[in-house]
């Protein structure tokens, strides 16, 4: 199937290329651009061949010259003026007069089921252009949004092809689907890793309940609307974008070398009354640097070929993409092939139809999930290989416990590959009825298959890394989703009134299916000959399962404005979800209303010269979250083999209630209120937007821990058991201008502030503890309680380090040793116990911000993006996780307590004890950072030179992503994600990397 798909894609590309070669005949168009008011010439006006990247700018005298097809359309754009499109029609000279414009009034943004002028929007919508996304070296479009939109927090995972974690205005969902809703060309998705960022035309983020409520069923955590590129009128234009670069680990952690490691392990042995493991630590020298052994500078290549064109009756856009990205861990690789084709046909004057279809094939060679923890913990005294070529073995050095591995052997004998195939898209028809009515129907689908094959051979690398029996695991997941939507829109202007009414209906089905199979004793001959049937038939096992959910929805919206001055937006959506068919309210109703007042349209503002635009806006709305598992209220019965009773010599297997389920589970609802303003000054050069929001999640679905001793296999009872709140402010400002010398520039900044709080929970003041990821001795590092934040860090406050036995005798920790943490007895009862724990930090960021600058001068352009977060904490579980003789960082080695008076901040190396490994303030660190997210320098070669090469435009660029990140955290990266009640715990997190690229963009 893949081979056929590839051949068809190549054939279509060749055909469209032939069309271009046969019919494209460029001519040189010259002219001058002047101001429609004072008739002066305008320098630095952007002149672009529509549908291409072929463009130029007017010189100091307003003159321009550009090579374009004889039937092309030229687009003239300049800040503060109305954009003009002029057909070439074989003209060699075109003079243009631009009229002054209130830019804010004409800017269009994508909203639910349509577009609106920005001035008419009463909600909070962030918009990012596709060209800004494509300037970054990210394989996922959401990653490129980092720092671009106020109130949007993004946490990246450095693994190739991974999906970033996005949070809009704070965490409002704890259980089930906590992610945002993605809508690509009308089709709903939970993830867009299949989408090539170069195919995106526009991306809008719906942040407030008023703009989200039109998607009520899934909008509680925010909505991201994505419009992909479509064809434009004109002859076929072929564009190629390509880049090659490499990734390198930044801010590496320096670990103790072999001599230092042997020294601290001897100290650890002595503190536990054991003899030294290493007679002469200095004899081991620097030893093995495991990070240098396993990490590499990783190559990244990316290619995108697109063909765009159309006529009066039809248009098309076709693209092919290929990404090949190595991971920083040797053997890791990710490859993605994408193809997309869209067509629009004006069948009759009132009837338009079209479709978009895209295909994605992804294959990857994976790495062990524990590799980063192993690299952190591995003993440097262990060589990678012995002289005879065998693997260095930690057991030969008596390094048991959590250090019983050789990381090189781990990756050498890890054989897991993933394949993912996906086809999605939609087809639509749009019919204009009478004068003011438009009916649109669309059918979209998302069909995918993901397969993971993991093979363990028979091998013996070390005493702790071996297998006496081969094993093949195959996991296959399938998705079969479809959505049908019908909308009827009435749009009319009468007198001073503008009215748009939308009514719609949606039906969805989401189906998933999985099969997990295992076989033992599978012989290895080659990668292509690994099959389950080759294994031992008696030990083969297969499990399968799936889920089916259906949704029915009805919605309506009214947009009204009077004199472009008073704005009203009202929405109502009704959703039914099959998850709530038994034991819940089947239907949920989600209303919203928004209002705006464009003050600058008032008569009393006509003569003022301060504001070019000033608008006040306010909104209220309710949205929902149906992202819970299928049949959440259905009680399941298991039949485990252990429950056996024998009657008359016959064994009868008993049954058991293995889980507790709620008798009633309702929708999770989020109510949001927004108040804000938009303003423009100095002939629209300066634009400011600010707002306040209060978002409350009601009846939040929450897991209350229960004792497994009552017979359940699940430790949580799920139910509508909490109310949550996120409250904050957002501010953004943009300055755009062009100097007299022809330097065009823009500077944009944004700041978001959010405060998360649990308003109520059924446990009252009784806390819920989680955050045990990677911790020793069953410690739990997070607490969620009424009045606090979700998943805040909780533990003991360290006051110093015990220096001697006398200090211990006078303390509330009589069982401590010199070098142990000294905890504060907060309740003053003379004993340090669980009642002395306090809040230590918050993994939910308080502030997020971004700053962008774009400069253009003649043929040069420069882009700079900065981004950061503040008011956030990280729990460094890498240090806290001690199960044996793991290594230590160089920082810990240099500052550790190793005798009276040596340190009062860092403990001894005896961290594995219950007292020292318990969650405490030493492990909680500030996670704030500021980063140069992206810098790109581009140069467009002169048209005279490019035209000789039969090209319309040629741009070359160099860029760097994440080249500089400033932070104080002692781990690899301050970007640490996680589920809501386990967020911010750094244990085995993929390291931060910088990417450096060189690329070209060519238009034929």
Tell me: domain 108-229, CATH 2.170.130.10, correct?
Answer: yes
More confident residue, 340 or 18: 340
More confident residue, 823 or 20: 823
Instruction: Please state, in angstroms and rounded to a whole number, the distance separating the CA atoms of residues 933 and 975.
Output: 13
Comparing 31-35, 704-708, 938-942, the range with the smallest average pLDDT is 704-708
List CB contacts of 517: < 8 A, sequence separation 6 or more: 473, 474, 475, 532, 540, 541, 542, 543
Residues 201-251: tens digit of each pLDDT? 999 999 999 999 999 888 999 999 999 999 988 888 899 999 999 999 998
Instruction: Please state, in angstroms and rounded to a whole number, the distance separating the CA atoms of residues 850 and 145.
Output: 10
CA atoms within 13 A on the CB side of 338: 28
Confirm if 699 and 667 have CB atoms less than 8 A apart: yes
Q: For residue 281, what is the DSSP state?
A: G
Would you say the CATH fold of 108-229 matches that of 2-99?
A: no
Q: How confident is the model at residue 659 (pLDDT cuts 50, 70, 90)?
A: low
Mean per-residue pLDDT for 729-738?
93
Residues 942-952: tens digit of each pLDDT? 888 888 888 88
More confident residue, 763 or 436: 436
Closest CA to 931 of 127, 125, 136: 136
User: Is pLDDT above 70 for 173?
Assistant: yes
Q: How confident is the model at residue 8 (pLDDT cuts 50, 70, 90)?
A: very low
Distance in angstroms between the alpha carbons of the first and the last residue of the chain = 31
- What are all long-range contacts of 740-744, with beta carbons under 8 Å and residues at least 24 apart? 740/43, 741/857, 742/43, 742/44, 742/57, 742/59, 742/60, 742/857, 742/858, 743/44, 743/855, 743/856, 743/857, 744/44, 744/57, 744/79, 744/855, 744/856, 744/857
User: Is pLDDT above 60 for 751?
Assistant: yes
The pLDDT of residue 776:
72
Mean per-residue pLDDT for 692-700?
93
The proportion of the chain whose per-residue pLDDT surpasses 70, expressed as a percent, equals: 91
The pLDDT of residue 119:
86
Q: Which residues pair with 137 in a beta bridge?
A: none
Instruction: Please state, in angstroms and rounded to a whole number, the distance separating the CA atoms of residues 187 and 339.
Output: 17
The pLDDT of residue 639:
61
> How does the average pLDDT of the chain come out, rounded?
89
Mean per-residue pLDDT for 793-798?
96
> Both tokens of residue 612?
């070019």
The pLDDT of residue 208:
93
Residues in the chain: 1004
The pLDDT of residue 20:
42
Closest CA to 112 of 556, 652, 566: 556
Can you say whether the dihedral through the CA atoms of 877, 879, 883, 887 is positive or negative? positive
Strand-pair category, 873-876 with 929-940: unpaired
Is residue 333 packed enough to be buried (19+ CB in 10 Å), middle (13-18) or exposed (0-12)? buried
> How many C-beta neighbours within 10 Å does residue 372 have?
22
Confirm if 909 and 267 have CB atoms less than 8 A apart: yes
List CB contacts of 195: < 8 A, sequence separation 6 or more: 141, 184, 226, 228, 338, 358, 360
The pLDDT of residue 3:
45
Tell me which fold the domain 2-99 belongs to. Answer: Immunoglobulin-like (2.60.40)
Integer Rg of the chain from CA: 31
Mean per-residue pLDDT for 728-740?
91
Q: How confident is the model at residue 152 (pLDDT cuts 50, 70, 90)?
A: very high
User: Is pLDDT above 80 for 80?
Assistant: no
List CB contacts of 164: < 8 A, sequence separation 6 or more: 140, 142, 143, 146, 154, 155, 156, 157
Q: How confident is the model at residue 151 (pLDDT cuts 50, 70, 90)?
A: very high
Q: How confident is the model at residue 638 (pLDDT cuts 50, 70, 90)?
A: low
Instruction: Please state, in angstroms and rounded to a whole number, the distance separating the CA atoms of residues 521 and 249.
Output: 39
Confirm if 864 and 932 have CB atoms less than 8 A apart: yes
User: Is pLDDT above 90 for 623?
Assistant: yes
Residues 837-893: tens digit of each pLDDT? 999 999 999 999 999 999 998 889 999 999 999 999 999 999 988 888 999 999 999
Mean per-residue pLDDT for 559-574?
95
Instruction: Please state, in angstroms and rounded to a whole number, the distance separating the CA atoms of residues 556 and 571.
Output: 6
Residues 537-553: tens digit of each pLDDT? 888 999 999 989 999 99
396 conformational bin, left if phi > 0, alpha if psi -120 to 50, beta if neither: alpha
List CB contacts of 4: < 8 A, sequence separation 6 or more: none
Closest CA to 989 of 410, 414, 404, 369: 369
Strand-pair category, 668-681 with 686-705: antiparallel
Comparing 314-323, 699-708, 789-798, 932-941, the range with the smallest average pLDDT is 699-708
Instruction: Please state, in angstroms and rounded to a whole number, the distance separating the CA atoms of residues 309 and 234.
Output: 5
Instruction: Please state, in angstroms and rounded to a whole number, the distance separating the CA atoms of residues 546 and 518.
Output: 18
Confirm if 223 and 112 have CB atoms less than 8 A apart: yes
For 398, list phi and psi in degrees, rounded to 5: 60, 35
More confident residue, 136 or 594: 594
Q: How confident is the model at residue 640 (pLDDT cuts 50, 70, 90)?
A: low
Confirm if 900 and 800 have CB atoms less than 8 A apart: no
> Both tokens of residue 521?
């004793």
3 state SS of 183: strand
Residues 348-405: tens digit of each pLDDT? 989 999 999 999 999 999 999 899 999 999 999 999 999 999 999 999 998 877 788 9
**How is the chain split among helix, strand and coil, in percent rounded to 5?**
15, 50, 35
Q: Which residue is associated with the tokens 């460094």? A: 876
Q: Residue 240 to residues 730, 928, 935, 955: CA-CA distances in angstroms?
A: 38, 39, 21, 10
Confirm if 725 and 757 have CB atoms less than 8 A apart: yes
> Both tokens of residue 309?
């064109």
Question: In the chain, what are the domain boundaries?
Answer: 2-99, 108-229
The pLDDT of residue 37:
61
> For the whole prediction, is pTM greater than 0.85?
yes
The pLDDT of residue 23:
38
The pLDDT of residue 943:
81
Confirm if 811 and 802 have CB atoms less than 8 A apart: yes
User: Is pLDDT above 90 for 727?
Assistant: yes
DSSP string, 563-625: TTTEEEEEEEEEEEEGGGSSSS-SEEEEEEEEEEEEGGGSGGGTT-SSEEEEEEEEEEEEEEE
Q: Dihedral (C-alpha) 69, 72, 77, 81: value to the nearest 10 degrees?
A: 140
DSSP string, 387-445: TTSPBP-GGGGT--GGG---HHHHHHT-EEEEEEEEEEEEEEEEEEETTTEEEEEEEEE
Confirm if 220 and 173 have CB atoms less than 8 A apart: yes
Instruction: Please state, in angstroms and rounded to a whole number, the distance separating the CA atoms of residues 126 and 148.
Output: 9
> Both tokens of residue 773?
């990821």
> Both tokens of residue 998?
């060189």
Residues 815-831: tens digit of each pLDDT? 899 999 999 999 999 99
Instruction: Please state, in angstroms and rounded to a whole number, the distance separating the CA atoms of residues 620 and 574.
Output: 17
List CB contacts of 146: < 8 A, sequence separation 6 or more: 154, 156, 164, 850, 867, 933
The proportion of the chain whose per-residue pLDDT surpasses 90, expressed as a percent, equals: 65
Instruction: Please state, in angstroms and rounded to a whole number, the distance separating the CA atoms of residues 698 and 209.
Output: 14
The pLDDT of residue 153:
94
> How many C-beta neighbours within 10 Å does residue 963 have?
16
Instruction: Please state, in angstroms and rounded to a whole number, the distance separating the CA atoms of residues 592 and 583.
Output: 27
């Amino acid at each position: 199937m893949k081979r056929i798909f590839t051949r068809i894609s190549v054939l279509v590309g060749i055909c469209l290329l032939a069309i271009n070669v046969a019919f494209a005949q460029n001519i040189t168009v010259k002219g001058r651009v002047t101001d429609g008011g004072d008739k002066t010439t305008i320098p630095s006006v952007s002149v672009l061949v529509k549908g291409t990247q072929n463009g130029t700018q007017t010189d100091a005298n307003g003159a321009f010259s550009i090579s374009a097809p004889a039937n092309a359309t030229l687009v003239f754009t300049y800040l503060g003026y109305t954009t003009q499109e002029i057909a070439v029609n074989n003209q060699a000279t075109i003079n243009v007069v631009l009229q002054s414009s209130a830019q804010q009034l004409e800017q269009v943004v994508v909203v639910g089921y349509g577009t609106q002028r920005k001035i008419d929007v009463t909600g909070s919508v962030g918009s990012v252009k596709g060209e800004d996304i494509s300037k970054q070296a990210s394989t996922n479009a959401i990653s490129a949004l980092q720092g671009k939109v106020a109130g949007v927090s993004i946490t990246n995972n450095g693994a190739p092809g991974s999906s970033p974690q996005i949070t809009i205005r704070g965490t409002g969902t704890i259980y089930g689907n906590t992610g945002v809703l993605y809508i690509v060309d009308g089709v709903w998705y939970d993830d867009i890793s299949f989408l090539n960022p170069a195919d995106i035309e526009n991306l809008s983020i719906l942040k407030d309940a008023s703009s989200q409520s039109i998607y009520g069923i899934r909008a509680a955590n925010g909505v991201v609307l994505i419009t992909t590129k479509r064809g434009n009128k004109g002859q076929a234009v072929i564009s190629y974008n390509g880049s090659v670069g490499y990734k390198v680990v930044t801010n590496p952690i320096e670990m103790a070398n072999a001599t230092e490691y042997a020294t601290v392990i001897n100290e650890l042995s002595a503190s536990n009354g054991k003899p030294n493991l290493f007679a002469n630590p200095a004899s081991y020298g620097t030893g093995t640097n495991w990070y240098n052994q396993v990490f590499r500078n990783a190559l990244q290549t990316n290619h995108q070929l697109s063909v765009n064109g159309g006529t009066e009756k039809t248009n098309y856009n076709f693209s092919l993409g290929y990404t090949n990205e190595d991971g920083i861990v040797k053997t890791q690789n990710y490859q993605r092939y994408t193809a997309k084709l869209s067509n629009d046909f004006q069948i009759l004057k009132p009837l338009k139809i079209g479709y978009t279809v895209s295909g994605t094939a992804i294959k990857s060679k994976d790495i062990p999930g524990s590799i980063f923890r192993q690299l952190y913990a591995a003993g440097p005294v262990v060589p990678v290989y012995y002289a005879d070529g065998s693997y260095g073995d930690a057991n030969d050095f008596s390094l048991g416990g959590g250090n019983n591995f050789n990381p090189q052997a781990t990756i050498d004998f890890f054989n897991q590959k993933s394949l993912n195939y996906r086809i999605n898209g939609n087809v639509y028809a749009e019919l204009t009825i009478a004068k003011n009515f438009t009916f649109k129907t669309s059918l979209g689908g998302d069909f995918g298959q993901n397969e993971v094959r993991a093979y363990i051979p028979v091998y013996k690398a070390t005493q702790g890394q071996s297998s006496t029996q081969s094993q093949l695991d195959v996991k296959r997941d399938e998705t079969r989703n479809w959505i049908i939507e019908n909308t009827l829109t009435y749009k009319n202007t009468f007198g001073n009134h503008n009215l748009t009414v939308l009514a719609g209906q949606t039906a969805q089905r989401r189906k998933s299916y999985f099969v997990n199979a295992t076989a033992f004793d599978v012989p290895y001959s080659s990668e292509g000959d690994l099959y389950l049937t080759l294994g031992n038939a008696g030990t083969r096992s297969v499990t399968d399962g799936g889920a089916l959910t259906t949704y029915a929805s009805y919605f309506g919206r009214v947009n009204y404005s009077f004199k472009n001055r008073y704005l009203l937006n009202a929405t109502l959506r009704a959703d039914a979800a099959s998850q709530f068919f038994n034991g819940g309210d089947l239907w949920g109703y989600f209303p919203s209303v928004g209002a705006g007042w464009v003050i600058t349209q008032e008569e009393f503002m006509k003569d003022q010269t301060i504001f070019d635009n000033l608008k006040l806006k306010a909104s209220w709305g309710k949205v929902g979250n149906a992202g819970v598992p299928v049949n959440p209220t259905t009680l399941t019965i298991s039949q485990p083999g252990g429950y056996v009773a024998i009657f008359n010599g016959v064994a009868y297997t008993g049954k058991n209630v293995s889980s507790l389920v709620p008798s009633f589970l309702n929708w999770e609802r989020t109510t949001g209120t927004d108040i804000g303003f938009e303003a423009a000054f100095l002939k629209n050069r300066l634009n400011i937007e600010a707002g306040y929001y209060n978002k409350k999640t009601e009846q939040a679905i929450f897991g209350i821990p229960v004792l497994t001793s009552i017979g359940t296999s699940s430790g949580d009872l799920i139910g509508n058991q909490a109310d949550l709140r996120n409250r904050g402010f957002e501010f953004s400002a943009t300055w755009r201008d062009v100097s007299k010398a022809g330097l065009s520039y823009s500077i944009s900044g944004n700041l978001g502030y959010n405060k998360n709080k649990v308003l109520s929970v059924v446990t009252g003041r009784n806390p819920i503890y989680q955050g045990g990821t990677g911790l020793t001795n069953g410690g739990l590092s997070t607490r969620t309680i009424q009045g606090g934040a979700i998943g805040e860090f909780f533990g003991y406050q360290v006051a110093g380090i015990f220096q001697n036995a006398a200090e211990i005798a006078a303390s509330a920790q009589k069982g401590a040793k010199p070098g142990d943490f000294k905890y504060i007895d907060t309740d003053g009862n003379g004993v340090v116990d669980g009642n002395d724990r306090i809040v230590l930090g918050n993994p939910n960021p308080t502030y997020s911000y971004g700053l962008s600058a774009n400069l253009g001068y003649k043929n040069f352009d420069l882009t700079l993006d900065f981004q950061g977060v503040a008011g956030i904490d990280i729990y460094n579980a890498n240090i806290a996780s001690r199960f044996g003789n793991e290594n230590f960082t160089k920082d810990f080695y240099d500052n550790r307590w190793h005798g009276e008076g040596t340190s009062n901040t860092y403990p001894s190396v005896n961290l594995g004890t219950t007292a020292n490994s318990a969650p405490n303030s030493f492990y909680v660190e500030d996670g704030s950072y500021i980063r140069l997210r992206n810098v790109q320098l581009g140069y467009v070669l002169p048209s005279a030179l490019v035209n000789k090469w039969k090209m319309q435009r040629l741009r070359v660029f160099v860029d760097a992503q994440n080249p500089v990140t400033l932070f104080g955290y002692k781990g690899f990266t301050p970007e640490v994600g996680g589920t809501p009640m386990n967020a911010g715990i750094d244990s085995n997190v993929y390291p931060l990397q910088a990417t450096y690229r060189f690329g070209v963009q060519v238009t034929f």
